[in-house]
Amino acid sequence: MANIENWTREQWEKSKVDFPKSIFYLYTPMCGTCAIASKMIEVIAAMKPDLPIGKADMNYVEKLAVDYEIESVPCLLIQKDGQLVHKIYAFHSIPHLLEKIG
């Protein structure tokens, strides 16, 4: 499976400037739903190798959680042209996520 980099908040913010599209996956290690969502993100990374994808343990990016008003994990932030366009909590299916990512 694809290797998804651990990002800091700074790397996420930089991706919003450097790339027309990127996604940031937020999780916590003890979350069972996050374990399933992580596998879905790995599949997406394999399907879209040119898409910048980062991940972070929410416990280490608490200020980001406050600033982006993140309500729960798993959470997928999708940016296009520097703007946050989707904040996804329900990962439904890989096709659903691919549609949101565009």
Sequence ranges of the domains in the chain: 5-54+68-101
Read off the tokens for 76: 């997928």
pLDDT (mean) for 3-18: 94
pTM for this model (two decimals) = 0.94
Neighbours of 30 (CB within 10 A): 8
CA distance 73 to 34: 7
In this prediction, residue 26 carries a pLDDT of 98
Pick the CATH number of 5-54+68-101 from 3.30.70.1290, 3.40.30.10, 1.10.10.10, 3.10.20.310: 3.40.30.10
- Please say if the pLDDT value at position 1 is more than 60: no
The residue assigned the tokens 């399933």 is 36
Q: In what order do the strands lie in the sheet with 21-27?
A: 5-6, 53-57, 21-27, 75-80, 83-88
- 24-34 pLDDT, tens digit per residue, is 999 999 999 99
CA distance 77 to 87: 5
- 51-80 pLDDT, tens digit per residue, is 999 999 999 999 999 999 999 999 999 999
